[in-house]
Amino acid sequence: DAGITQSPRYKITETGRQVTLMCHQTWSHSYMFWYRQDLGHGLRLIYYSAAADITDKGEVPDGYVVSRSKTENFPLTLESATRSQTSVYFCASSERENYNEQFFGPGTRLTVL
Amino acid sequence: EDQVTQSPEALRLQEGESSSLNCSYTVSGLRGLFWYRQDPGKGPEFLFTLYSAGEEKEKERLKATLTKKESFLHITAPKPEDSATYLCAVHPSNSGYALNFGKGTSLLVTP
């Protein structure tokens, strides 16, 4: 199906484990973004990518790693999960010419016990 | 420090009762202001981009306006399907590609 998908949709893990959240888009958009959304906060940018092999930090990058070997995929890895990383994670993508009009995925709800 | 404040936090309207949501911002320079809609359990959906004071955009029952300090999202004769959380975001001049999102206004429209 066309669009932007995230997997898994729900994940429960334990403190200290490594977790990878997947994001895939079929539009060939240049830009991709990872946000987290927590009660009491707005959406906060974790990392973004302007193109394959080009990534940069956002507002809250500590404890996260990203890669982008292919334009359509932008995985987010929590190297050693902590309880404070319990959140809903959204991936988004946008065209190079209009990078502020972002298309969001359905989100992944992550719980770290 | 760049800030985005949305008010009210929650709003309950009767169907057909028009109202406005507010987004006030403090940024060093504004590249753009954006409105998104978010339904429960889903990702935000893009609505509007505003770039300069005085600009207005419309879509169905929604109209967004922008001044130098704030933006309003006017909802005319809302319907229950307009119920959602409305998010405002700004793109400061010095932030690269990062948007600053407000916490949102949760709108409930009752029949």
A104 to B43: CB separation less than 8 angstroms, yes or no: yes
Residue A98: pLDDT above 80?
no
Helix (H) or strand (E) holding B88: strand B84-92
Give B42's contacts in chain A (Cβ within 8 Å).
Answer: 106-107
Checking if the pLDDT of B2 tops 80, the result is no
- Tell me how crowded residue B59 is: count the other CB atoms within 10 A of its CB: 10
CA-based nearest residue in chain B for residue A42: B103
- For residue A37, is pLDDT > 70? yes
Cβ of B4 and A100 within 8 Å?
Answer: no
Asked if residue A32 has pLDDT above 70, the reply is yes
Question: In angstroms, rounded to a whole number, what is the distance separating the alpha carbons of residues A86 and A90?
Answer: 13
Judging contacts by C-beta atoms under 8 Å, the chain A residues touching residue B45 are 104
Q: Does A27 touch chain B (CB under 8 A)?
A: no
Establish if A88 touches chain B: CB-CB under 8 angstroms: no
Contact list in A for residue B94 (CB cut-off 8 A) is: none
Phi-psi region of B80 (alpha: psi -120 to 50; beta: other; left: phi over 0): alpha
Picking from A31, A41, A101, the nearest residue to B103 by CB comes out as A41
Q: Which residues contact A80 (CB under 8 A, 6 or more apart)?
A: A16, A17, A18, A63
Kindly report which listed range (A97-106, B34-43, B65-74) carries the lowest average pLDDT score.
A97-106
What would the pLDDT profile of B5-27 be if each residue is shown by its tens digit? Answer: 999 999 999 999 999 999 999 98
Residue with tokens 């009660």: A39
Percent of chain A with pLDDT over 70: 96
The confidence band for A1, taking pLDDT boundaries of 50, 70 and 90, is: low
Q: According to the model, what pLDDT value does residue A42 have?
A: 84
**Best residue in B97, B103, B105 for a mutation probing chain A (most A CBs within 10 Å):** B97
Q: Are A10 and A89 in contact (CB under 8 A)?
A: no
Indicate the pLDDT class of residue A38, thresholds 50, 70 and 90: very high
Mean pLDDT of B34-60: 95
Cβ-Cβ pairs closer than 8 A, A with B, add up to 54
Section A87-112 average pLDDT: 90
Residues 6+ apart with CB under 8 A from B102: A42, B4, B5, B6, B23, B87, B88, B89
Are the beta carbons of A42 and B102 separated by less than 8 Å? yes
The answer to whether A102 contacts chain B (CB < 8 Å) is yes
Q: Which residue of B has its CA nearest to A41?
A: B103
What would the mean pLDDT of A102-108 be, rounded to a whole number? 94
Beta strands A108-112 and A10-13: pairing type? parallel
For residues A57-75, average pLDDT: 95
The token duo for A103 is: 């298309």
Are the CB atoms for A48 and A102 separated by under 8 Å?
no
Peptide bond just before B80 cis, omega within 30 deg: no
The radius of gyration computed from the CA coordinates of chain A, to the nearest angstrom, equals 13
Lookup: tokens for A11: 């994940």
pLDDT tens sequence across A5-24: 999 999 999 999 999 999 99
For residue B36, what pLDDT is reported? 96
Q: What pLDDT, in 10s, does the model give residues B54-97?
A: 999 999 999 999 999 999 999 999 999 999 999 999 988 877 77
